[in-house]
Amino acid sequence: MLGNLKPQAPDKILALMGEYKADTRQGKIDLGVGVYKDPTGLTPVMRAVKAAEQKIWESQDTKAYTGLAGTEEYRDAMASMVLGGVAGDRIASVGTVGGTGAIRQGLELVRMANPDAVIHVSDPTWPNHLSILKFMGQQFVEYPYFDNDTRGVAFEAMLEGLGKAKQGDVVLLHGCCHNPTGANPTAEQWDAVAASLEKTGAIPMIDLAYQGFGDGLDADAAATRMIAERLPEVLIAASCSKNFGIYRERTGILMALTADNKAREMSQGAMAYLNRQTYSFPPDHGARIVSTILTDEALSADWKAELEEVRLTMLGLRTQLAEELRSLSGTDKFDFIADHRGMFSRLGATPEQVARMKEDSAIYMVGDSRLNIAGLNKDSVPVLARAIVEAGV
* Spatial separation of the C-alpha atoms in residues 44 and 277, rounded to whole Å: 34
Q: How distant is the alpha carbon of residue 175 from its chain centre?
A: 8
Single out the residue of 104, 84, 36, 126 nearest to residue 372, CA to CA: 36
Instruction: List, in sequence order, every residue forming a beta bridge with 263; answer none if it has no partner.
Output: none
Going by their DSSP bridges, the two strands 140-144 and 119-123 should be labelled as parallel
Calculated CA dihedral for residues 35, 239, 195, 191, nearest 10 degrees: -60
3 state DSSP class of 130: helix
- Residue pair 102/280 in contact (Cβ under 8 Å)? The answer is no
284 contact partners, CB below 8 Å, separation of at least 6: 66, 70, 71, 95
Cite the active site residues. 126, 207, 209, 242
Phi-psi region of 135 (alpha: psi -120 to 50; beta: other; left: phi over 0): alpha
Distance CA 103, CA 134 (A): 13
Distance of alpha carbon 109 from alpha carbon 267, whole angstroms: 8
182 phi-psi bin (left φ>0, alpha ψ -120 to 50, beta other)? left
Distances in whole angstroms, Cα of residue 365 to Cα of each of 67, 358, 370: 41, 8, 6
Q: In this structure, what are the phi and psi dihedrals at residue 83, rounded to the nearest 5 degrees? A: -105, -15
Asked if the bond preceding 124 is cis, omega within 30° of 0, the reply is yes
